[in-house]
Chains A and B, each alone.
Chain A
């Protein structure tokens, strides 16, 4: 399957700081998704992107579909303790149509 490179692997930040993470692929994607997963639970959808250049916000979260269609970015502003968790990007390759592949995740720790 496809390999998505997600970075950073982990982040330790102070409450109130902003967070940025990104995901890159080796091929063109037509959909980028961002999820948050808490321990022992399934991933929960944060933001969905369907168009190159699209910038979408969900509260303090903002994600962008890269112009090259090979990358995506997620920003979290003014982090709070409940932002703790693992964040995953996921993408749907343009060539295949039905599969969704996931990045390796970014573990976020927020220090109060």
Chain B
């Protein structure tokens, strides 16, 4: 069966510091991968998605970037965090067409 791992679970970082969040999927190949951000427990905002290695689509201009160095690995990064980057970051994967999104357990990021 497929599983998705996301880490760390919580992170407290000072303003201006770098960020790297990692997500990996097991038990499937060539998944679509997604990064969402959720503020204040409501409304998931799509940040990035990827349909293959090295292929990244950005939904909104922001202080973040994403990379997909391997088929089942998706990384969310920032060079310098802003206070507004605080939130709950969720990674998700999807299999073939007409299959649903499956989420990881998220990373709670607090920028201080």
Contact = CB atoms under 8 A, between A and B. Distances in A.
Nearest to A50: B98
B43 A1 contact: no
Interface in B92-112: 92, 94, 98-106, 108
B interface: dominant SS: strand
A1 B103 CA distance: 20
Interface in B62-112: 90, 92, 94, 98-106, 108
B41 A86 contact: yes
Nearest to B94: A100
Interface residues of B, number: 28
Given A42-B90, A98-B32, A99-B59, A90 B43 contact: no
Nearest to B105: A42
Interface residues of A, number: 24
Interface in A18-54: 31, 33, 35, 39-45, 48, 50
A58 to B, nearest CB: 12
Contact of B42 (A1, A35, A105): A105
25 contacts: A1-B60, A31-B98, A39-B41, A41-B106, A42-B6, A42-B90, A42-B92, A42-B103, A42-B104, A42-B106, A43-B44, A48-B100, A50-B98, A86-B42, A88-B44, A90-B44, A98-B32, A98-B51, A99-B46, A100-B92, A100-B94, A102-B43, A102-B44, A102-B45, A102-B46
Interface of A: 1, 31, 33, 35, 39-45, 48, 50, 86, 88, 90, 98-105
